[in-house]
Amino acid sequence: MSILLNRDTTFIVQGITGREAVNLTRECLDYGSKVVGGVTPGRKGREVHGVPVFDTVAQAVEHHGGPIDGSVVTVPPAFTKDAVFEAILNGIKLIVIVTERIPRRDVAQMVELAEIEGARIIGPNCLGLIVPDVCKMGGIGGPARDAAKSYAPGPVGVMSRSGGMTTEISSSLTQAGLGVSTAVSIGGDAIIGSAYAELMPYFEADEETQAIVIYTEPGGRMEAQLAQWVAANDSRLPIVAFMAGKFMDDEEMKGMSFGHAGTIVEGVEDTATEKIARLEAAGIRVVERIDEIPAAVKEKLAA
């Protein structure tokens, strides 16, 4: 019925008293998500939209009276690693990192610890994930009313390196009468917790998901990794991809960074042209225009 989240998923918000975190908490509660606590050191005893605030993750877990499934981390970059370590080592298994501008070393350390402890990181520099009409973890889709407009339940899994484009694409699938099983804003940085290929097994195991749409950009190797995964795993899921930033292939744009931190062409393999070729070689349909996505998905579903 979905990946990573379900109706019973509980989570906390680390850095809950920050401006963006307060909004995000409101949005998630309105959407029906179970936000069971918040953590901001030194602010124990407060409440944010009725959610109790604690000094430590351990206090939140104790108050909840059992394991908490997830955490949305929205603390400043210098403190993110510590916050994520704290979450992981207090038994939290799903961590959404909203914060951007975290040095790669810190991200790599968080990911390695998550691997050891069997936790999964989404992000950094992402808006989180959403299961339409069930649960939203993070700012994805915005206020509950707006999220409802863009996200209807359906058979398509969405993964996107851009938070905004996750909603744009999901909205077009919703408008076309298709809908979304789970949409994940995977993050725009050079190193992220969960790349496409790492989330594919979840979608593969989810009965409701019948097709995948990915939004991708120049920079990095995660499309090559996805192409490899698809070739090696005989996936049942057809994939439709959209590649933005083709203009960056132009000679005068070489090496410039646009959009997200991870969107920088550092070698020929990172270019849009090269990525499109790789994806297509793996049988992934790469559409030229953003508005061709719904029709391409319908075509794949009918095949």
Known catalytic residues?
A: 260
Taking CB under 8 A as the criterion, the residue among 31, 54, 215, 229 binding other proteins is 215
What residues are paired with 14 via a beta bridge?
Answer: 39, 73
CB of 275 to other proteins, least distance (A): 12
| Residue 49 in contact with other proteins, rule: CB under 8 A | no
Taking CB under 8 A as the criterion, the residue among 15, 188, 210, 286 binding other proteins is 188
Question: What are the Cα distances from residue 153, in Å, to 65, 133, 174, 182?
Answer: 32, 7, 8, 8
Q: Virtual CA dihedral for 20, 186, 189, 264, nearest 10 degrees? A: -130
Cβ partners under 8 Å of residue 112, min gap 6: none
Which helix or strand (DSSP H or E) is residue 135 part of?
strand 135-137
Residue 8 or 250: which CB sits closer to other proteins?
250
Residues 7-26 that bind other proteins (CB under 8 A): 23
Taking CB under 8 A as the criterion, the residue among 45, 289, 302, 303 binding other proteins is 289
d(CA 54, CA 42): 8
Segment lying near other proteins (by CB under 8 A), choices 2-10, 41-49, 65-73, 156-164: 156-164
Taking CB under 8 A as the criterion, the residue among 224, 235, 298, 299 binding other proteins is 224
Residues 112-141 that bind other proteins (CB under 8 A): 112-113, 139-141
d(CA 160, CA 222): 12
| Residue 74 in contact with other proteins, rule: CB under 8 A | no
| Residue 147 in contact with other proteins, rule: CB under 8 A | yes
CB of 151 to other proteins, least distance (A): 11
Question: What order of strands is seen across the sheet that includes strand 153-160?
Answer: 135-137, 128-131, 180-185, 153-160, 211-216, 239-243, 285-287
| Residue 258 in contact with other proteins, rule: CB under 8 A | yes
Taking CB under 8 A as the criterion, the residue among 247, 273, 280, 281 binding other proteins is 247
